[in-house]
Amino acid sequence: MAATTPTPEDLHLFRQAVADAEPLSPHGRFLHDIPPPPPIPLSRLRDEREVILESLRDPERWDEATETGEELSYVRPGLSRQILRRLRSQWVAQAELDLHGLNRHEAKHELAEFLYECRRRGVRCVRVVHGKGLGSKNREPVLKIHVRYWLSQRDEVLAYVQARPADGGGGAVMVLLRGR
């Protein structure tokens, strides 16, 4: 069969039929839209941060006279006290927070942020330096009592013990955090 040339009427009908069609890309492939990235759950992150900050709030009547001056330690009920010995001698701090120069409210906020970030990163052992109080009024530790109280109120804190002398001694605590 021989090819026939289209008539003007055929061309007109063809153009009407394909009027809504879109041309293909130059390479002949269809390009799909790139899907948007998953949304960031900002509300959930804000809620988690608020929970952390709320958990660090002092009770209405926190008796600061409970500090005896001797080395203090804490282990979550139901866990072996051998954890304290291992925490002091075998565990190595994976992260550190130094609270020197901060007041109680600033220290509470910084500790909350630090624990949140450690939890997010899966860090298990941290050192929190609260200081010995040598630069404070009456040369008494201001943050020592509060930091230890705040830590004992946290679910992710399994234990803490006074740091070795080389790691800060009475001015720091080694903290063991729950794994993921």
For residue 174, pLDDT over 90 is answered with yes
Confidence tier at 56 by pLDDT (50, 70, 90): low
| Distance in angstroms (rounded) separating the CA atoms of residues 119 and 108 | 16
Q: pLDDT digits over 116-141, tens only?
A: 899 889 999 999 998 876 666 666 67
Evaluate whether residue 113 is within a structural domain: yes
Higher pLDDT, 107 or 133: 107
Q: pLDDT digits over 16-33, tens only?
A: 998 888 876 677 677 778
| Distance in angstroms (rounded) separating the CA atoms of residues 9 and 34 | 42
For residue 44, pLDDT over 80 is answered with yes
Evaluate whether residue 80 is within a structural domain: no
Q: What CATH number corresponds to the domain at position 145?
A: 3.30.1370.110
Evaluate whether residue 127 is within a structural domain: yes
Evaluate whether residue 172 is within a structural domain: yes
For 81, phi then psi, to 5°, come to: -70, -10
pLDDT at 166: 84
Domain span including residue 117: 93-180
Evaluate whether residue 144 is within a structural domain: yes
- The model carries a pTM of 0.61
pLDDT at 41: 84
Evaluate whether residue 22 is within a structural domain: no
Q: Could you tell me how many residues make up the chain? A: 180
Domains: count for the chain: 1
Q: Within 13 Å and on the Cβ side, how many CA atoms surround 17?
A: 6
For 20, phi then psi, to 5°, come to: -90, -5
- DSSP annotation of 26: T
- DSSP annotation of 105: H
